[in-house]
Every structure is written in structure tokens, then in C-alpha cells.
Amino acid sequence: METAFKTAFPFIVFSVAILLAFQGVLMIVAYTVLAERKVLGWIQGRIGPNRVGPWGVLQPFADLLKFILKEDLVPDKSTKFVYFLAPMVALTAALLPIVVYPFGPPIKDPISWLVPYLPVIPLGSEANIVVWIAEQAKNLPLTIARIDIGVLFVLAVTSVGVYGIALAGWSSNNKYSLMGGLRSSAQMISYELAMGASVLGVVMLAGTLDLNGIINAQANSPWYMRWFIIPQFIGFIVFLISAFAETNRVPFDLPEAETELVAGFHTEYSALKFALFFMAEYVNMFTVSVMCVVLFLGGWYVPGLSHIFEVGSVPYALVSHAAFLLKIFFFLFLYIWIRGTLPRFRFDQLMSFGWKFLLPVAIGNVIVTTIVVFLMNR
């Protein structure tokens, strides 16, 4: 029993971490939708949802119940297998990057202080298995899976989401859905180039593709480079604009332009399958917001916090995590604000802007950064 438990312990920890992270992100997504409806109501002089629960705080759960209870209609001439697969591909590609995100700094000893207050549980040769668990939890990373190519992993996995959209447009056997899928494919591929080029400047300054390494590089930089948004401001602007295009948000929401394409690639989707596409869009918003924070705003690092709390302590980790979330919420609010204030581009304007302006600017930023890094390292 003891051997089996100790062998399974890493898998249990990994499973719990995955469950907590995914559940936390989905809750943030649910309340981002509510926040969007509230903020857009405020911008447009309305109140927004206020009927379900106090001040409408239970509205996301009512929306979920509505999606579950709605009739699931499937077009007669659709390609059924691909039609069902598409929303799962889109949501899976949006959720996978969560496993490599650094949600906070490592905690030196997160559990030992709780041991005196917990019951004694003997197991085999261990007089108290709780003490053994506390020892195993030392130097606990707040990253589910730390990999050396974290930036590359995120860019690669999120790019797979375009397959879900393209498959949805093709399999629905609907001309509006197909046009929306084609638009989205062209748009996402075009702006991924500029996004990738904007990230290269940060990677060169940090000297690593590891997301934790990029945060540590910012923390250990001189005060004028403490956040990479300062030396890489042009890269930040390019990344932010590309992020709006990648997530199909206003003013780049051409794939689902209601006046031209009904609802775009998910015109023929209803009930839970539509909800999966809906969630994928908002999870993608969260994903690119995290990348903006990690690459350009220091991630969980807060300047001066180490003078208040001991590095690696539980309070230090909690405050750092709270700062990380606040930075993410700022970008989520920016998404909502832009939706309420800017009109949509024409499709030819969108493609011309991406290829003729944004990509050359991103490449120019890479060239200048390369020269500066070379001169700094001489």
C-alpha cells in the first residue's frame, strides 16, 4: 500500500494540478463573458444582466444550463464526424497551453506549517504520511509542466486551433460557414507570422524559450529593462495587434461578421457544440493575455516585493499570483473595451495591414534587436 501510494503520488499531484488549473481558467472565462456583457452595457448606456443571482453574478451558470437544455440540431448533409470533431479540436488547442504557464514563483515549503493542525495518518513504514507529503511538496513549482521550449509549445499548439475553425466551416455544408472558415484560416496564418516575429525579440533578450526563464530574465535585468515592454515596445504593440487577429476579436472579427456571413464558421452549430466554440474564443483570449503578461510585463514578478516578503514564502507566492491575475484581467478588459469602441476592418484592409505593415515592422524589430544584443554581448 505504501509503495503503491508513493509511486502514484506524482501522478495524483499532476492530475489535481491539471484539474485546478483548467477549472480556474474556465471560471475566469465564464466571468469574462459576464464582465463583457456588463462593460458593453455600461459603454452603451445599458445595465447588462442583473436578474440571475445578486447583481447577475450567477448569469454564467444560467447560460450553461441553457446550452445544455437546447436542442442539438445537425445539418442533414454535413460531414458528421468532422462536424462533431471541429469544436473539440478548437477547445483542446485553446486549453493545452495552460499546462506550461507559470502562475507564480516556486514555494519553498507550502505545507509544513499545516502539519501540526492535520491528523496523524500512519502508512506502512511512515509514522505520518502527511509529513512525507510535506517533504515532497517542498520547492513546489506553480507550473504544471515546465519545459525548455515553452514559447514554441504555446505558439505551435494555439496554431492548431485554426484546423477546428476550418473543419467547422467545411463540414457544415453551408456557404456562409465555409467562407467564415476560409477567412479565419487566412487571417490566423497571416497574423501568426507577425506574432512569431514579435516574440523573437523577447527570446533574444532573455536568451531562452522557457517561460519561467523569461520571467527570471526580466526580474534580474537593470531597472530600465525590468519589464521587456520597455526595450520591446514595438514588439509588444505588434504582438497585441496580432493577438486580436488571432482570437477573431473586434476589429478583426471578419470570420464571424454577422452582416455578411450570419455567424460565420459556427452558423450551423447549436447547443453544447456552439458552447465549445464560444469557450474556445474566450480561452484563447486568456491564453494571449497570459503570453502578453509573461513576455512583456514580467509575468508574476512584482518589483520590490522581495523586500516585503521572503522569496519562496507562501505570502510572496500569493501576492505574486494575485499580481499575475491582475495583469491578465487588464488585457481581458482591453479586449472588451476595444469591442465596444472600434468598428470592423474590411477583409482586404485586414490582409493588407497584416502583410504590408505589421509583418515588415515585426521583422525590422527583430533586425534591430539582433544588432543591439550582438553589440551588448561583445
Mean pLDDT by 10 residues, the chain (378 residues): 76 88 93 94 90 90 91 84 92 94 91 77 71 82 91 93 88 84 84 94 94 94 84 95 88 66 75 90 94 95 90 92 96 93 84 93 96 88
Collapsing DSSP states into helix, strand and coil, what is residue 229?
Answer: coil
Q: 239 and 349 share a domain?
A: yes
Structural domain includes residue 255: yes
Number of domains in the chain: 2
3-state class (DSSP) for residue 149:
coil
Report yes or no on 278 lying in a domain.
Answer: yes
Kindly state whether residues 97 and 10 are assigned to the same domain: no
Question: Which residue from 248, 255, 333 is spatially nearest to 292, judged by alpha carbons?
Answer: 333
Domain span holding position 15? 1-69
CB atoms within 10 A of CB 167: 21
289 lies in the same domain as 215: yes
48 belongs to a structural domain: yes
123 assigned to some structural domain: no
- What per-residue confidence (pLDDT) applies to 110? 84
In the chain, which residue ranges form alpha helices assigned H by DSSP?
A: 2-43, 59-69, 80-95, 129-136, 150-159, 161-171, 175-206, 211-219, 233-246, 258-261, 271-296, 314-341, 347-352, 359-376
Q: What is the pTM (predicted TM-score) of this model?
A: 0.91
Q: What is the full DSSP assignment across 294-336?
A: HHHS-TT--TTGGGTS-TTSHHHHHHHHHHHHHHHHHHHHHHH
Q: What is the model's pLDDT at position 127?
A: 64
Kindly tell me the sign of the dihedral angle through the C-alpha atoms of 130, 131, 133, 139. positive
On whether both 101 and 1 belong to a single domain, the answer is no
